[in-house]
């Protein structure tokens, strides 16, 4: 994957905001990327759906516990950006 094809952490944040917003009926612009996932009340079924959609959009296989391993959209996004750099 070249540098142009690798999404930035900011781009991954936007994807996650859209996925979470859609799943919870919250406008993505109202979602704080630094807020803990616990604030949104995301249950395990919603987590699985969000991660499946994110996997599809990024073309990565993700840990089913990713949203438990990191506290916020911002932390997940930074982690995934780093992972994608290693893959390239």
Q: Give the domain CATH number at 53.
A: 1.10.1200.10
Kindly state the DSSP code that residue 6 receives in the 8-state scheme.
S
pLDDT tens for the chain, residues 1 to 88:
444 468 899 999 999 999 999 999 999 999 999 999 999 999 999 999 999 999 999 988 999 999 999 999 999 999 999 988 876 5
Q: What is the pTM of this model?
A: 0.89
Q: Kindly state whether residue 3 falls inside one of the protein's structural domains.
A: no
Q: Kindly state whether residue 60 falls inside one of the protein's structural domains.
A: yes
Query: d(Cα 55, Cα 70) in Å, to the nearest integer?
Result: 16
Using CB atoms within 10 Å of the CB of residue 20, give its burial: 0 to 12 exposed, 13 to 18 middle, 19+ buried: buried
Q: Kindly state whether residue 2 falls inside one of the protein's structural domains.
A: no
Q: Kindly state whether residue 50 falls inside one of the protein's structural domains.
A: yes
Token reading at 81: 């950006």
Domain total in the chain:
1
Q: Kindly state whether residue 14 falls inside one of the protein's structural domains.
A: yes
Phi first, then psi: give them for residue 85, nearest 5 degrees.
-65, -40
Q: Kindly state whether residue 1 falls inside one of the protein's structural domains.
A: no
Q: Residue 32 belongs to what domain range?
A: 9-87
């Amino acid at each position: 994957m070249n540098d142009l094809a690798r999404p930035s952490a900011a781009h991954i944040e936007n994807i996650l905001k859209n996925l979470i917003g859609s799943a919870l009926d919250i406008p993505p612009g109202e979602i704080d990327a630094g807020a803990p996932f616990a604030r949104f009340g995301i249950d395990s079924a919603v987590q699985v759906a969000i991660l499946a959609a994110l996997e599809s959009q990024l073309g990565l296989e993700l840990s089913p516990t990713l949203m438990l391993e990191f506290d916020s959209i911002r932390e997940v996004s930074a982690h995934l950006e780093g992972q994608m750099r290693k893959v390239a």
